[in-house]
Structure 1
Amino acid sequence: MTNPAQAVHLLLERKETLAVAESLTGGLLAATIVEVAGASAVFRGGLVAYATDLKATLVGVPEPLLEKQGPIDPDVALSLAEGARRTCRADWGIGTTGVAGPDSQDGKPVGLVYVAVTGPLGRQVDELNLDGGRASIRAGAVSHALESLVMLLRSPSANTSA
Structure 2
Amino acid sequence: MVDYLSCLDKALVETLKNKSLTITTAESCTGGMVASSIVNISGASDIFKEGYITYSNEAKERILGVKHETLEKYKAVSAETAAQMAEGAVRISKADISVSVTGVAGPSREDDKPVGLVYIGCCYKGETHVKECDLSGDRHTIRCQSTKEALKFVLDIIKTNR
Band the TM-score falls in, shorter-chain normalisation:
over 0.9
TM-score normalised by the chain length of structure 1: 0.92
Match of 1:70 among 70, 75, 81: 75
Q: 3-state DSSP class of the match of 1:3? A: helix
Unaligned runs of 5+ in 1: 158-162
Q: Which residue of 2 aligns with 1:82?
A: 87
Q: 3-state DSSP class of the match of 2:107? A: coil
What are the equivalent positions in structure 2 for 1:10-25 lying under 5 Å apart?
10-25=15-30
What are the equivalent positions in structure 2 for 1:3-152 lying under 5 Å apart?
3-120=8-125, 122-152=127-157
Q: 3-state DSSP class of the match of 1:145? A: helix
TM-score normalised by the chain length of structure 2: 0.92
Contact 1:19–1:94, Cα closer than 8 Å, also in 2? yes
Runs of 4+ residues deviating >6 angstroms: none
Contact 1:122–1:152, Cα closer than 8 Å, also in 2? no
Deviation at 1:123, TM superposition (A): 3.2
Unaligned runs of 5+ in 2: none
Deviation at 1:52, TM superposition (A): 1.0
Query: Quick one: distance in 1 between partners of 2:128 and 2:94?
Result: 17
Deviation at 1:122, TM superposition (A): 3.9
Query: Quick one: distance in 2 between partners of 1:53 and 1:11?
Result: 31
User: Alignment identity in percent?
Assistant: 35
| Alignment size in residue pairs | 157
State the Cα RMSD in Å: 1.3
Contact 1:121–1:155, Cα closer than 8 Å, also in 2? no
